[in-house]
Structure 1
């Protein structure tokens, strides 16, 4: 996987900003990030021409004020010892479109957004960004503390699961301290199991052995960099693997979840996978990193921005 050299942080002048700035500082320290764009999008700057004639500096003053407000939060919560180029960007228009365009223009490696649970406001449209971004997306719930002692990586042993696992290993390796990675595979018993003459429990055991074999094949293809990875296998009994993932995250008290986006080409870029979709909808206690190899969606960006 790649380093997070360029990071976009979406701020909205709410209490959420403090958490996002702390996470940005934490990410930058681990990844030796070179440039961070702290960004705020104003939904509507349509001011009547007569007003602008009377107050010609109004828009520029509003933008300067927004940049000043962002800088105050960054000065208070960003590690001043880090030698990083910090830029403050104010845009006007639809939030997701402006962030996507900025990420494309700046060739960003990651977009950092907040997930509000009790704070007022809708926050960033995380699902739309996850589907369309040409880079990875980190979604952080309010009041989270940056910490990566334990990471959960749900896996179906596919190529995009490999992306997520390699990202987790890189994070652990660069952190320079002990990090546990839990690779969770959620398997189910097929509906026609009884036709084999086996009981539900017996066929469940067969499916688990199959998952164990597939994990060994999967992990052999990855450079683990001597990072400890613990496989866990969960049998899905209610046809909802996402519920099993969230339950395991709570049970293990993980510091974050990493999952790979399914869309890897222009044709499939809008489909990040049903599991990732539901995790984005439901996760409100754990930071969620949706990984995507940089530039995979770039071919359809012009089309998306016209929608």
Structure 2
């Protein structure tokens, strides 16, 4: 059973905040969540001189906290125990990473605006530094989650994400599917038949799936699809498959191969994060990686 002891929700005082708080309520209604921390950091040094001249020594942190409490009261209610945390630090990423460690946060909910409205630079920094799994909620996403896609590359990281997704799907009655994107050694064409190469590649991958299912019996009944990259990146193929299959959640495992200063975020997850997605993206670290 999946339970979240503590969860952090990052708010930025924009229109997406109400959606994030309401989505958090939806999560608490479906999963066991111990405590939720609604957080915002005020970069005081970014306040203009005009602001200081007009408002003087106003208790900005108190005003922001009151505003967040209003949103939480309206959109979240008493769905779970919660606390509002407002800080005034120059570096948002560092203070949020510190909160994750201090309160042993297992999952952070992060909103994402479309590329027209935002560069997503802060989100990218947070994904590099936060020592916990992250659920990215695009402003165009809905709360309905019924169909889940988990791309895997047979690494321990992706297998962890798959097993976690299977647990989640069983718990909530979701439809789970697996995707694997493979590539052919095109430098050897036309020395070998492309058709023969495809057949051989899929034969090898199916053998790896059979071995994986034998090792982890709980995923033996999960359907999988093999897709050839064929001139596109793995992330692009995943995106095309998402649009075709009408999924509601994408789950990706993250690797932790960079112990200093934090964990590792790159490659396929980074490319997908930078796309304008319309469904939530769950980026999963295993407990072993975080430790």
Q: Give the shorter-chain TM-score range.
A: 0.7 to 0.9
5 Å-filtered alignment, 1:63-102, equals: 63-78=61-76, 80=78, 82=79, 84-93=80-89, 94-102=91-99
Instruction: Extract unaligned runs of 5+ from structure 2.
Output: none
For 2:195 and 2:268, locate their aligned partners in 1 and report how far apart those are by CA, in whole Å: 25
> Structure 1 residues 273 and 208, CA, compared in 2 at 3 Å: closer, same or farther?
farther
CA shift at 1:295, angstroms? 6.9
Q: Secondary structure at the match of 2:4?
A: coil
SS of the equivalent of 2:97 reads helix
Measured at CA, do residues 244 and 119 of structure 1 come closer, stay the same or move farther in structure 2, by a change above 3 Å?
closer
Question: Which residue among 204, 214, 217 is the counterpart of 1:210?
Answer: 204
Structure 1 distance, partners of 2:136, 2:23, is: 10
TM-superposed deviation, 1:222: 3.0
C-alpha RMSD over aligned residues: 2.7
Local SS of the residue matching 1:65: helix
Check if 1:244 corresponds to 2:241.
no
Unaligned runs of 5+ in 1: 299-307
Query: Aligned partners of 1:40 and 1:273: how far apart in 2?
Result: 26
* Shift of residue 9, structure 1, vs aligned partner: 0.1
SS in 2 for 1:8: strand
**Structure-2 residue corresponding to 1:200:** 194
TM-score by length of 2: 0.87
Q: Relative to structure 2, which stretch is displaced further, 71-80 or 91-100?
A: 71-80
Is the Cα–Cα contact under 8 Å of residues 11 and 38 in structure 2 kept in the other structure?
Answer: yes
Q: Give the 3-state SS of the residue equivalent to 2:196 in structure 1.
A: helix
Residues 19 and 143 in structure 1, CA contact (< 8 A), matched pair in contact too: no
2:181 equivalent among 177, 181, 186: 186
Q: Decide which of 128, 131, 136 is 1:134's aligned counterpart.
A: 131
Partner of 2:228: 235
TM superposition shift of 1:269? 5.0
- Distance in 1, Cα, partners of 2:270 & 2:121: 15
Q: Distance in 2 between matches of 1:250 and 1:91?
A: 39
- Distance verdict in 2 for CA 1:130–1:221, change over 3 Å: farther
Closer/same/farther in 2, CA of residues 268 and 162 from structure 1, 3 Å limit: farther
> Residues 147-173 of structure 1: CA distance to partner in whole angstroms, max 9, x if unpaired?
221011110011000121122112212
Superposed, 1:1-307 pairs within 5 Å as 3-44=3-44, 58=57, 61-78=59-76, 80=78, 82=79, 84-93=80-89, 94-117=91-114, 120=117, 125-175=122-172, 177=173, 179-194=174-189, 198-222=192-216, 224=218, 229-263=222-256, 266=259, 270-294=263-287, 296-297=289-290
Q: TM-score, normalised by structure 1?
A: 0.83
Q: Is 116-125 or 209-218 further displaced after alignment?
A: 116-125
> 3-state SS of the aligned residue for 1:5?
strand
C-alpha distance in structure 1 between counterparts of 2:179 and 2:219, whole Å: 19
CA spacing shift, 1:37–1:268, aligned 2, 3 Å: closer
Q: Secondary structure at the match of 1:282?
A: coil
Moved over 6 A (4+): none
Distance 1:46 1:20 in 2: 24
d(CA) in 1 for partners of 2:2 and 2:289? 13
Q: CA separation in 2, counterparts of 1:45 and 1:131? A: 24
